[in-house]
Structure 1
Amino acid sequence: MAYATLDELKGRLDWQLDDDELRIAGGALEDASDLAATYGRNWPEESAPRLVRTLVLKAAARYMRNPNGYTQSRAGDETLGWSDIGRDAGTVYFTREEIRLLEGIAGQKPGLVSVVVSSWGTKPQPRDAGRVPVDYGGDAFPMFSDEVSPW
């Protein structure tokens, strides 16, 4: 399962892929798609949101540009360093912001929510308004101060 195609990934890279790179690129797309399903949800391939496809392509292209996970490169007297890769070096990964986007698309944003809580099998009846049912079979227990106003 992949949320993006190999041709779409080739369009994001600035070189022609050889046979080994094509094999690696296919694996990178599958890995990125698996991560997208983990951080977001398991969308059907044909109806995945466009932003999911974009994020999968970004992660796969990032991996293809640096598959060995180098954090520093030196050629002669020039040195190039990547300090933001960290422990994800050499793997397909999503950045924190990309993970937040996937969670948002899936409706899984972390935060506080309120949940209605009720006991099993209880439905307030109009005659029992302001009263809580009891297990011992007696009259309902008054929950509010009077029957006219609940407060």
Structure 2
Amino acid sequence: MADFATLDELKARLDWTLDADEERIATSALEDASDLARGYAGRDWEPSSSAPRLVRTLVLKACKRYMTNPQGLTQSRAGDETLGWNDTQGENAGTVYFTHDEQRMLAELGGRKNGLVSASITAWNGRIYRGPGYVPAAGSSKPFPLFADEVEPW
């Protein structure tokens, strides 16, 4: 599977020149972000150039975020060597990730829509009687007629 963005497109968004090791990391980040984008969208665009431009933009945004701060730091000091992390990114700290809003956009681009869903429900341990107008009666093996019908009035 091809990536949704190229290394040159990522380099254009970064404000420094990548060395060979950083290029290797950036290539892996592009692969990871493309795989995540496919997962959140719930589909693959084949060829990858047929994907909406916003998918490419979101992949590049996630990769730039990772390349700018690969350790996921929230605080850093040079004097006395202070580094800091917090739980706002959770398990995503130090990895390529999409924010909640980016995940929602990818899902919508893939055709997944949030909304209402209807689900059929039944009573626990209940039985469905096929006869018209009858319901189960507690303590009896015979169903109780709930209403009259034309065939069998009560």
Question: TM-score, normalized by length of structure 2?
Answer: 0.67
- 1:108 pairs with 107, 112, 119, which one? 112
In structure 1, runs of 5+ residues without a counterpart are: 116-144, 146-151
Cα offset for 1:74?
Answer: 1.4
Cα offset for 1:46?
Answer: 1.7
The 1:70–1:53 alpha-carbon spacing in structure 2 relative to 1, beyond 3 Å, is same
RMSD value, Cα: 2.4
Tell me, yes or no, if structure 1 residue 68 matches structure 2 residue 98: no
For residues 79-118 of structure 1, what are the structure 2 equivalents within 5 Å?
Answer: 83=86, 84-113=88-117
Tell me, yes or no, if structure 1 residue 49 matches structure 2 residue 61: no
8 Å contact from structure 1 (residues 3, 48) kept in 2: yes
- State the SS of the aligned residue for 2:4: coil
8 Å contact from structure 1 (residues 68, 90) kept in 2: yes
Percent identity at matched positions? 67
Q: Structure 1: how far apart are the matches of 2:17 and 2:107?
A: 33
Tell me, yes or no, if structure 1 residue 12 matches structure 2 residue 16: no
Large movers: runs of 4+ above 4 Å: 79-83
Q: Structure 1: how far apart are the matches of 2:71 and 2:84?
A: 14
Amino acid in structure 2 at the alignment position of 1:106: G
Cα offset for 1:87?
Answer: 2.0
Q: Structure 1: how far apart are the matches of 2:94 and 2:27?
A: 16
Cα offset for 1:76?
Answer: 2.7
Amino acid in structure 1 at the alignment position of 2:4: Y
In structure 2, runs of 5+ residues without a counterpart are: 120-148, 150-154
Cα offset for 1:15?
Answer: 0.2
Q: Say how many residue pairs are matched.
A: 117
